[in-house]
Amino acid sequence: MADEIPQLEAIRRILGDAVLDAHTARGEDVIVIRRDGLVESFKRLKEDPALAFDFLSDLTAVDYFGKKEPRFEVVYHLLSLGSGRRVRVKVPVGESSPEVDSLVSLWRAADWMEREVWDMFGIRFRGHPDLRRILLYEEFRGYPLRKDYPVNQRQPLVPERALKGTFVDMRSNNKLAQLKQQLEKQKLAGADSKRG
Amino acid sequence: MIVDLAIVAVKAFLVLFMVLNLAGILGWVERKGSALIQDRIGANRASIFGFAGMGLVNTLIADPIKMLTKEDFIPAHGDRLMHTLAPCLALFPALVTFAVIPFGDVLVVGGREINLQVANLNIGILYIFAMASLSVYGIVIGAWASNNKFSLLGGVRGAAQMVSYEIAMGLSVIGIVIVYGTLEPQAMVRAQGELFWGWLPAWGVVRQPLAFLLFFTAAVAETKRLPFDAPEGESEIVAGYHVEYSGGKFLMFFAGEFAEVVTAAGLVTTLFFGGWQVPYLLRDGFYFPWGSVVSLAPLTVTILQVAAFTVKVLFFCWLQIILRWTLPRFRYDQIMRLGWKMLLPAALVNLFLTAAWIVVRRPV
Amino acid sequence: MIVFFILAFLTLLFSLLVVTQRNVVHSAMALAATLFVMAVLFLTLDAPMLGVLQILVYAGAIMILILFVIMLLNPLSIEARPAAWWMLGSLGAAALCLQLAALVHRPAVSAEAAVPASFGGPESIAQSLFTDFALPFGLASVLLLVAIIGAVALAQRQR
Amino acid sequence: MKAEVKELPQDIMELQMGPSHPATHGTIKFNLKLDGERVVDCDTEVGYLHRGFDKSSEQGTWTQVIPYTDRLNYVSPLINNVGYALAVERLLGVETTPRCQFIRVVASEISRITDHLTCCGMAASELGAITAGFYMIEAREMLMRIVEALTGARLTVTYVRIGGLKHDLPEGFAAQVKDAFEKTRRLLADVEKLLSHNRIFIDRMSNVGVISKETAVSYGLTGPVLRSTGVNYDVRKLQPYLVYDQMDFTVPLGSHGDNYDRFIVRVEEIEQSMRIVEQALEKMPTGPISIEDPRIVLPDKEKVYNSIEGLMHHFKIIMEGVHVPPGEVYQAVEGGNGELGFYLVSDGGGRPYRVRVRPPCFIAMGAFREMIRGYTVADIVPTFGMINMIGGECDR
């Protein structure tokens, strides 16, 4: 495990004590970093000229339910387009507060991938601009890729969602009438403010 | 009087019959033709006892039966009256335009002169444009009455496109009108029987090649077929203005489109390709430029002329089908750009040059 | 004569529909139909040029644009106009009726002038447009151009 | 009064394009906000084809995942097979035989050609150039027959096994490939005449869906979409797997990052892939197609029926699965649409603990909003078409 190659040494040097563990396994460099200051660590990995991991290849999570503590690991695969070096970055996340910082500010690819991890594992990403379920629907209960989610679990039926703008009856959508209503509202609002 | 009326009625019926059937046949030709172009077999199910040659006839019958027996669906929030009216409005102009297109010279039977043309209007060209301008109604009303956003988009696209291309089409024809000095289709066709330098038929395409290109492009755009099918754009806005149509009403839109193809072909033939004129064929036979003469009976000449007209029309129908299966679709704004920024100026330049040429040639 | 009466009746019917229909698109279509029937009326009066132009310009172009706007804005129910508008409208209608009655009363005007054979044909219309009425024609064109430029400018400012 | 009249009512039309729409093949929905025909905003909804690939994979043995991988990118299923098998083999710490590696290269590249042909053909026919689309589909059909001859199926191939292949190349395979490539090249020449130099097509494709180098990298785009911007990233070149380092091929690059460049990159890649297949077939070594390890590869039927060891191994692989030592691995291969990564975690048992796929087109769809904003509704068709979203892979 302690068999360090130059890349890992460089990472250790640059990230300092944010690195909990670094090793090479099956030809792949793996580092485990602290959850706090995550964005800062990734920023260094991305922007330090010696590392230049400018490409977020993959972002996912693994649930080590009953095998490891803390339970979750968020796994990032970074790639340096210039040299073709890869590194796997793992961030342990506990069950009590499944939250990590979002990387959307660094890589926009993180947007959808983080949404997927939220969808499947229920790990929240702080600072994500639009954290919604992505593959499943909003009414889905539970997080299916957690190991304690039974594979044959059935979901309750949900009523049809009244989506805004799905079917607009053009007759009710009378633009002139709308304009008039708006004006009336404004008038009312004006009257109210005067009174108040 | 009654005989005259009867003759007009027979002519009108004949033309209507021919156009509608040709539209139906084109439906089959398009399927088979596209299959030919694309290395496929194409429609081969409608056949009598496996005799594929009957496919044509059968498709003519099977298509309407299939369409007419389908459920006629009117969207819940659509406008029932307008929804029903729209397909009629789409089909009607395409059919009546053919009325002023001459398909033969004057035929003399028993001392009675029969003009092989349903209505001989002295302003036939204007009539054609008037009718063409009406065909927008079908699209706009159909799109609106469906109460569907996709069809609304299609309707807006269609209205803008057709109004724009009518202008280019009209201006390109004015050049031809100036050259012939008449608005009467029959007179135009007759004028195309002349010869340049004794051998070149003075067809419109020879006198006004640019006008032909502009007119043909605009005419294809008016039929709303590829590459100008942005109002339908089945992969973008599903089927555009007729997305909510089914059954008989869709059949009318469908037939209207093919009738427009036939009409466009008829117009191009009449205006630019000598209509019923056969090169060197005069009233009593062929007079070839090298001096030989083949005398023919008047009836044979008429038959030859009608046949020549039909062949030319079929050729241009086929050309439109080939175009449709070769080119990708324009984007809506590209269609507009082509119409306003290229066709319109080109038509104006053509018009100006033609007028200048006429003035120079014949000082008043 | 019978044809005339049928067409006149249709014209009146459709024009009444224009005013009475509550649905704007229906009234627009009724207006288009009115224009179309009037064009046929012109045809029966041996003025084919006028009839065809009526269809080409009014039914084919102007009505389409009106429909276009209606479709885009979709104002379906018409608000009730204040009584003053009704008063003005009826006054205008009454004035028009009076004028019409006066014309009908003195029908002798047109009968005197002999109608030339080419009357209402493309040549005579073009002749008068480009000689006698060249100035009004040009002025009208400029007016339309100004209107177009104004519309474009208004639309551009929205962006 | 005047102030009110000045403001023309101009509002945003919301249009829901999909999930059932002729252009959204693969089932996807765009919630569009339109200003006239211009796309102001586009919220892409995916997941209509979600069937729980990850979860299902955790239920079966390592080998039983292979059929699931067929259904990821079902337009190039062989690449998915190869990628998964490579990942498992790396976890096992074994390497397959040379012949197997060459055959895998051949299979992957044929799959890539079918992928690109489908993508380009569909995009063309959605732009109305149905004939060109049919030509490409015809070429694909020829290659599909090769795939069928090789694997016995057209889409659900399940050809690759952990440690080897299901069976060897069929007889006369090289001749069949040669014949098919000849026809494909002819058809592609036709397509080039019909499309690549067609003014309408160029107008529709170029300067549409433009994305810059930096944005593309930031969005994690890979494959033709990334290479169209000029970024030279191809897994086959950057981190050669199998025997790609022995092959002579170039990676076509675009420069504008628009749809036309993507189209051209794909068409060029078809030619490069054909070159790779031809080289691989030429260099094809003889020998076994699977490694000789009875703990990983099923023994021959003869051994199963005649020896107790054979029967035991067969039973163990079928019932318990291949025992993969604990650990994790990320194996990327160049899929039809970009970097197809398999991140596997093993807990030492016969079943995978976690199977994660990095789906290239899911990530590309994430950038779709960026690509389409400011363009028109009609531009959605080519832009979406050139991303080549495959529902099975995007939604898993």
Whether pLDDT at D2 is above 50: no
Task: Kindly list the domain boundaries of chain A, sorted by start residue.
Answer: 6-167
Task: Indicate the length of chain B as a whole number.
Answer: 364
D33 sits in the region (left: phi over 0; alpha: psi -120 to 50; else beta) called beta
| Contact residues for C49 (Cβ-Cβ < 8 A; gap 6+) | B123, B126, C120, C121, C122, C125
Q: Which of A71, A52, A38 is nearest to A10 (CA)?
A: A52
Chain B: list its partners (3+ Cβ pairs within 8 Å). A, C, D
Q: Does A170 touch chain B (CB under 8 A)?
A: yes
CA angle D80, D81, D85 (to 5 degrees): 115
Of B122, B141, B156, which is closest to C29 when you measure between CB atoms?
B141
- β-strand A86-93 against A28-33: which pairing, if any? parallel
- The answer to whether residue A193 neighbours chain C at the CB level (below 8 Å) is no
pLDDT digits (tens, 9 = 90+) for D248-288: 888 888 888 888 888 889 988 999 999 999 988 888 888 88
Q: Judge: A144–D52 Cβ closer than 8 Å, yes or no.
A: yes
pLDDT for residue C146: 92
For residue D163, give Cα distances in angstroms to B33, D79, D169, D295.
Answer: 51, 15, 16, 10
Q: Which chain A residue's Cα is nearest to B150? A: A167
**What percentage of chain A reaches a pLDDT higher than 90?**
1
Chain B CB contacts of A171 below 8 Å? 77
Partner-chain contact A175 C73, CB within 8 Å: yes
pLDDT of residue B52: 55
Burial status of residue C15 (CB atoms within 10 A of its CB: 0-12, 13-18, 19 or more): middle
- What is the C-alpha to C-alpha distance for residues B223 and D135, in angstroms, rounded to an integer? 26
Using a CB-CB cut-off of 8 Å, the residues of chain A touching C73 are 175-176
Residue scoring higher pLDDT (B28 or A182): B28
Please identify, in words, the CATH class of the domain defined by A6-167.
Answer: alpha beta
B152 at C interface, C-beta within 8 A? yes
Q: Nearest CB to C64: which of B122, B140, B152?
A: B140
What tokens does D272 get? 């490069």
Contact status of C52 with chain B (Cβ, < 8 Å): yes
Q: pLDDT tens-digit profile of C38-74?
A: 888 887 777 777 788 888 888 777 888 887 777 766 5
Structure tokens at B14: 């004949």
Q: pLDDT above 90 covers what percent of chain D? A: 5
**DSSP collapsed to 3 states, B42-56:** CCCCCCECCEHHHHH
**DSSP per-residue codes, C48-92:** HHHHHHIIIIIIIIIHHHHHHHHHHH---SPPPPPHHHHHHHHHH
Mean pLDDT of chain D: 86
Q: Which of B38, B220, B236 to mutate to test the interface with D (most CBs of D within 10 A)?
A: B236
Confidence label for A1 from pLDDT (cuts 50, 70 and 90): very low
Beta strands in chain D (DSSP E): 13-17, 29-35, 38-45, 160-161, 164-165, 327-334, 339-346, 354-358
> Residues 70..129 of B with a Cβ closer than 8 Å to C: which?
79, 81-82, 85, 121-123, 126-127, 129
Please answer whether residues B176 and B192 qualify as being in contact, where contact means their C-beta atoms are separated by less than 8 angstroms.
no
Percentage of residues in chain D with pLDDT exceeding 70?
A: 97
How does residue C107 score in pLDDT terms, banded at 50, 70 and 90?
low
Closest CA to B130 of B102, B84, B99, B160: B99
pLDDT the model gives residue D158 = 87
Spatial contact of B203 and B192, defined as CB atoms under 8 Å apart: yes
Q: What is the pLDDT along chain B (364 residues), one digit of tens a residue?
A: 677 778 778 888 888 888 887 887 888 888 888 888 888 887 776 666 655 556 667 677 777 888 888 888 777 666 778 888 888 888 888 888 888 888 777 777 766 777 777 777 777 888 888 888 888 888 888 888 887 778 888 888 888 888 888 888 888 888 888 888 888 888 888 888 777 777 778 787 878 888 888 888 988 888 888 788 877 877 777 777 888 888 888 888 888 888 888 888 888 888 888 878 887 777 777 777 777 777 777 778 888 888 888 888 889 988 888 888 888 888 888 888 888 888 889 988 988 888 888 888 775 5
A171 in C contact zone (CB under 8 Å): yes
| Cross-chain Cβ contact B235/D127 below 8 Å | yes
Cβ-based contacts under 8 A for chains C and D: 4
For A150, nearest residue in chain D (alpha carbons): D55
Q: What is the pLDDT of residues D227-243, one digit of tens each?
A: 888 888 888 888 888 88
In chain D, what are the domains?
A: 63-356 (1.10.645.10)
Sequence-distant (≥ 6) Cβ neighbours of residue A112 within 8 angstroms = A134, D362, D363, D365, D366
Cα-Cα end-to-end distance for chain C: 56
Q: Which residues contact B323 (CB under 8 A, 6 or more apart)?
A: B220, B225, B226, B227
Whether pLDDT at A62 is above 60: yes
**Are D260 and D224 in contact, with CB atoms under 8 Å apart?**
no
- Closest Cα to residue B41, out of B32, B50, B49? B32
Give residue B84's identity as a one-letter amino acid code: T
**Per-residue pLDDT at D6:** 41
Distance CA A110, CA A32 (A): 19
Residue D3 has a pLDDT of: 37
Specify whether the CB–CB gap between D132 and D113 falls below 8 A: no
> Residue B229: closest CA among chain D residues belongs to which residue?
D128
Closest listed residue to residue B100, CA positions, set B64, B136, B63, B129: B129
Nearest CA in chain C to A175: C75
Q: Do C74 and A177 touch (CB under 8 A)?
A: no
Q: CB C52 to CB B123 under 8 A?
A: yes
Does the CB of B340 have a partner CB in chain C at under 8 Å? no
CA distance B135 to chain C (A): 8
**Predicted local confidence at residue A169, as pLDDT:** 46
How many C-beta neighbours within 10 Å does residue D346 have? 23
Tens of pLDDT, residues A26-44: 888 888 888 888 888 888 8
* CB-based contacts of B255, cutoff 8 Å, min separation 6: B20, B23, B24, B91
- The ipTM value here is 0.76
Which residues does C60 contact at the CB level (< 8 Å), separation at least 6? B129, B130, B132, B133, B134, B136, B166
> Cβ A177–C73 below 8 Å, yes or no?
no
Confidence of residue C143 (pLDDT cuts 50, 70, 90): very high
In this structure, of A46-55, B52-61, D177-186, the range with the lowest mean pLDDT score is B52-61
Whether residue B133 lies within 8 A of chain C, CB to CB, comes out as yes
Per-residue pLDDT, C158: 58
- Please tell me the distance in Å from A107's CA to the nearest CA on chain D: 5
In chain C, count H helices and then E strands.
8, 0
Contact (CB<8Å) A108/D395: no
Residues of D in contact with C154 (CB under 8 A): 8
- Interface probe for A, chosen from C70, C72, C74 (most Cβ of A below 10 Å), is C74
Question: pLDDT tens for residues D378-387?
Answer: 888 888 888 8
pLDDT tier at A65, thresholds 50, 70, 90: confident
pLDDT at A127 over 50: yes
**D26 near D50, Cβ under 8 Å?**
no
> What's the helix, strand, coil split of chain B in %, to 5?
65, 5, 30
Q: d(Cα D263, Cα D378) in Å, to the nearest integer?
A: 17
Buried/exposed code over B279-292 (b: 16+ C-beta within 10 A; e: otherwise) = ebbeeebbeeeeee
Q: Is residue D7 pLDDT above 50, yes or no?
A: no
C153 in reach of chain D (CB within 8 A): no
Q: Give the mutation candidate from B235, B325, B329 for the D interface (greatest D CB count, under 10 A).
A: B235
Q: Are D353 and D345 in contact (CB under 8 A)?
A: yes
Q: For chain C, say whether D5 makes contact (Cβ under 8 Å).
A: no
D392 close to D80: Cβ distance less than 8 angstroms: no
Residue D310's pLDDT band (cuts 50, 70, 90): confident
Query: Does the CB of C22 have a partner CB in chain A at under 8 Å?
Result: no
Task: Please give the distance of CA D287 from its chain centroid, rounded to a whole number.
Answer: 29
pLDDT of A14 higher than 90: no
